[in-house]
Amino acid sequence: MATIGNMLKRSFSTNVAKHAIQNVTIIGGGLMGSGIAQVTAQAGQSVTLVDVSNEILKKSETAIQTSIARVAKKLHKDDPTAAKQLSEGVLSRIKYVHDTEKSVENADLIIEAIIENIEIKHKLFKVLDQAAPKNTLFASNTSSLSIAEIASVTKRKDKFGGLHFFNPVPVMKLLEVIRIPETCDETYNSMMAWGKSIGKTCITCKDTPGFVVNRLLVPYIAEAVRMLERGDASAEDIDTAMKLGAGYPMGPLELADYTGLDTGVFILEGWHKKFPDNPLFKPVELQKKLVEQGKLGRKSGEGFYKYSK
Ligand code: CAA
Ligand code: NAD
């Protein structure tokens, strides 16, 4: 049975092999972008992390410092000097930039991890398509949107794919690599090899709603919220049941709080609009009500549970 410590170790030790992709630009320095920046820098690659303001980038930097310190402490339990060297090496490979066009000048790969909104993603990719060198590969980390729809505004669909990471990125070993019909073999093979170079296990899925993980996870969480809504069981008992009866690391309601209730509502509403006849995609009233009340889960301090800072 793999422990988290072993997963982190394996992930780090597989990171030494040099890969053709050495300069990675990540757009969006939030929860996911910061994690992707960290694991890429852990693999020895140069990272440029982009967000809309220096203030947000400062927060990204703090989040990465905390996370890499945690990883380094775990990997080098009895050797604080080695832990410090690891942290410093990773931090030195990440540049924080708020000029999007400048940030992609030398990029081999650009990974978009901005807000889950198709219009805003389109606006960004139009700019990137103009500004990036013609060989630069493009990827989106979207949770629920169609990769083909995101790529549609660019003139390099052959160099476009989905690279879907999982939260928390430094710990979760999976990377879903999505190809659209236009993605060429070279791009797809490069993305698979790059995923491996940063220590992830890659799987492939067609460009379908939620790919593999979210297609299963989102309806599962929605069903747990419906159980709570009907009063079938308490939140604590639903979560305990799935942890102790099914061996999940978190119960479905804890996980909903962890990924953000707003994210869950957004995904279901988007899919429901596109596929109104699929009962699995039906939005859940209780989840919507909590979001309307500003209860977004861990990030806002309350969701199905209350969190202290
Ligand atoms: N950075 C670095 N290390 C971290 C970390 C982070 N952000 N978060 C956790 N860790 C590591 C730490 O090394 C920690 O080790 P220590 O015990 O030495 O501190 C270890 O993980 C365990 O963490 P915790 O003790 O804090 O808590 P835990 O044992 O409950 O594990 C968890 C936390 C890894 C998140 C685990 O509960 C888990 O796997 N939960 C399920 C997460 C999941 O399903 N993610 C997918 C969500 S779906 C998604 O992401 C896709 C989407 O599009 C929405
Ligand atoms: P987040 O809100 O934490 O971060 C998004 C960041 O993007 C913010 O810092 C915002 O300022 C920045 N941003 C917005 N527009 C920008 C632009 N035009 N240029 C540069 N930066 C911009 O969101 P997140 O949870 O990190 O999610 C990001 C993406 O990853 C979404 O597509 C989401 O669906 C996907 N995703 C999320 C999770 C999760 O568990 N949260 C998991 C996998 C994938």
Ligand 1 within 6 A of CB of 249 = yes
Residue with tokens 């800072």: 309
Band of residue 3 on the pLDDT scale cut at 50, 70, 90:
low
Mean pLDDT of 121-127: 98
The pLDDT of 120-127, averaged and rounded, is 98
Q: Domain for residue 262, yes or no?
A: yes
User: Do 198 and 54 lie in a common domain?
Assistant: yes
- pLDDT, average across residues 249-277: 96
Q: In this structure, is residue 76 part of a structural domain?
A: yes
Query: How does residue 203 score in pLDDT terms, banded at 50, 70 and 90?
Result: very high
Mark which of 176, 206, 236 sits at the end of a domain.
206
- Residue 213 within any structural domain of the chain: no
Q: Are residues 52 and 135 in the same domain?
A: yes
Q: Does residue 10 carry a pLDDT above 60?
A: no
Shared domain for 71 and 174, answered yes or no, is yes
Following CA atoms 268, 273, 276, 280 in sequence, which dihedral angle do they give, to the nearest 10 degrees? -10
Whether ligand 1 lies within 6 angstroms of the CB of 203 is answered as no
The answer to whether residue 222 is domain-embedded is yes
Nearest to 3 by CA among 247, 252, 171: 171
**Domain match, 171 and 262 both:** no
- Is the per-residue pLDDT at 4 higher than 90? no
Q: Choose, from 176, 190, 197, 254, the residue flagged as catalytic.
A: 176
How many percent of the chain have pLDDT more than 70? 94
pTM value is 0.93
Check whether residue 184 and residue 68 sit in a common domain. yes
234 carries an active-site annotation: no
CB of 255 shorter than 6 A to ligand 1: yes
Q: How far is the CA of 191 from the CAs of 138, 216, 247, in angstroms? A: 10, 24, 31
306 in a structural domain: no
**Signed CA dihedral, 164, 166, 169, 172: sign only:** negative
301 lies in a domain?
A: no
Q: Which residues on neighbouring strands pair with residue 27, listed in sequence order?
A: 50, 112
Q: What are 209-220's pLDDT values in tens digits?
A: 999 999 999 999
Of 206, 235, 266, the one marking the end of a domain is 206
* Total domains, the chain: 2
User: Does residue 132 sit in the same domain as residue 260?
Assistant: no
pLDDT of residue 14: 44
- Classify 211 as helix, strand or coil: coil
**CATH code of 228's domain:** 1.10.1040.10
Structural domain range at position 134: 2-206
pLDDT classification of 16: cutoffs 50, 70, 90: very low
* Statement to judge: residues 99 and 14 lie in one domain: yes
Of 141, 133, 51, the closest CA to residue 96 belongs to 51
Specify if 63 maps to a domain.
yes
CA-closest candidate to residue 23, choices 44, 6, 51, 39: 44
Judge if 169 and 250 occupy the same domain. Answer: no
Burial class (CB in 10 A: 0-12, 13-18, 19+), 221: buried
Q: Do 256 and 165 fall within a single domain?
A: no
Question: Cβ < 6 Å from ligand 2: which residues?
Answer: 27-33, 50-52, 56, 100, 113-116, 120, 124, 141-143, 165, 167, 259-260, 263
Burial class (CB in 10 A: 0-12, 13-18, 19+), 196: middle
pLDDT in tens, 99-112: 999 999 999 999 99
Same domain membership, residue 230 and residue 202: no
197 CB under 6 A from ligand 1? no
Half-sphere exposure of 165 (CA within 13 A, CB side): 30
User: What single letter denotes the amino acid at residue 147?
Assistant: I
Residue 15 pLDDT: 46
Continuous H helices in the chain: 4-13, 31-42, 54-75, 80-92, 100-103, 118-131, 147-151, 185-197, 213-230, 235-246, 252-259, 261-274, 285-292
Judged against a pLDDT cut of 80, whether residue 19 lies above it is answered with no
Q: Would residue 304 count as lying in a domain?
A: no
**In a shared domain, residues 15 and 124:** yes
73 and 190 part of one domain: yes
Report the separation in Å between the CA atom of 117 and the middle of ligand 2, taken as the mean of its atom positions.
10
Which of 206, 240, 274 is a domain's end point? Answer: 206
Beta strands 137-140 and 109-112 are: parallel
Structure tokens at 269: 């509403």
The 10 Å Cβ neighbour count of residue 126 is 13
CATH code, 186:
3.40.50.720
Which residue is catalytic, options 116, 141, 164, 197?
164
CA distances in angstroms from 13 to 10, 47, 91, 138, 197, listed in the order given: 5, 19, 18, 27, 10
Average pLDDT over residues 251-279: 96
More confident residue, 14 or 215: 215
